[in-house]
Amino acid sequence: MKNFLHLLILVMIPNWIQAGENDLYDFLWLDPDKSVYVLQNKIYPKNKSLYLDFGYINGLSNAFQDTTGAQLKVGYYFKEEWAVELSHSSYSHSNNSTYESLKVINGAEPFSRKMKKLTSAFIIWSPFYGKINTFNKIFYFDWSFGLGTGDMQAESNLESVTNPALPSSFKGESYNPLLLKSNIKFHINRRLHLGVEFHNANFQAGSPKTPSKKKWRQMNDLVFSLGVSF
């Protein structure tokens, strides 16, 4: 019976655990004086490591533009779960079919805000790591979250959209956004990794309905990256 209980405990322990290698689990159905420790040796430790990533950006927020871009970021893990990161992103835009259709039907240019450049600084927290066993191969990954701010350069046609007497034009805008993100990093080996990141920028800006009143707006990106760790 005791051996069966031990086996049952091992089966119920998930592959995802917190980044610390020694984690204490308290099971209510065990005797009060008993605890279960889970030890999972890390194959790819992060403490005191530097990483450099190159990313491809797919913009998700602009309804009238096809947005792509490139990202370069560098980070340093000063602890196993904590890192600081600097990044720079550059964007390009092209009018999509929705933009062209509205312009033909309505005879007017729709409102559009385009992010041009974003330089940011983050504090990174990596509380989870895990592994996936598929196709008879084990893939290791880290799951992290980021909080940061930076300098965002954008442009919009807000002025010309709200004043039909003006010719259509885009004017530059500058913001210091609140930045949030979540990243999953898959390790190819000890040096190389692939990343998938959801990036969220929050800033206060006007809109055609309330051009002089600033409200919180969002721009979201999906970033696919290839990186190297040192």
Tokens of 169: 């034009």
pLDDT digits (tens, 9 = 90+) for 40-89: 567 899 999 999 999 999 999 988 999 999 999 999 999 999 999 999 99
- The residue type of 214 is K
Same domain, 104 and 20: no
Position 20 pLDDT exceeds 60 = no
Domain span at residue 127?
46-229
CA 81 – CA 48 distance, rounded (Å):
11
Q: Which of 159, 150, 164 is nearest to 113 (CA)?
A: 159
Position 220 pLDDT exceeds 70 = yes
Q: What is the pTM of this model?
A: 0.81
Same domain, 190 and 221: yes
Tokens of 90: 């550059």
**Percentage of residues in the chain with pLDDT exceeding 70?**
82
CA 47 – CA 184 distance, rounded (Å):
17
Given a contact cutoff of 8 angstroms between Cβ atoms, the answer to whether 43 and 205 are in contact is no
> What is the reported pLDDT for 136?
83
The alpha carbon of residue 207 and the mean position of all alpha carbons in its chain are separated, in whole angstroms, by: 26
Position 116 pLDDT exceeds 70 = yes
Same domain, 221 and 159: yes
CA 77 – CA 227 distance, rounded (Å):
14
**Number of domains making up the chain:** 2
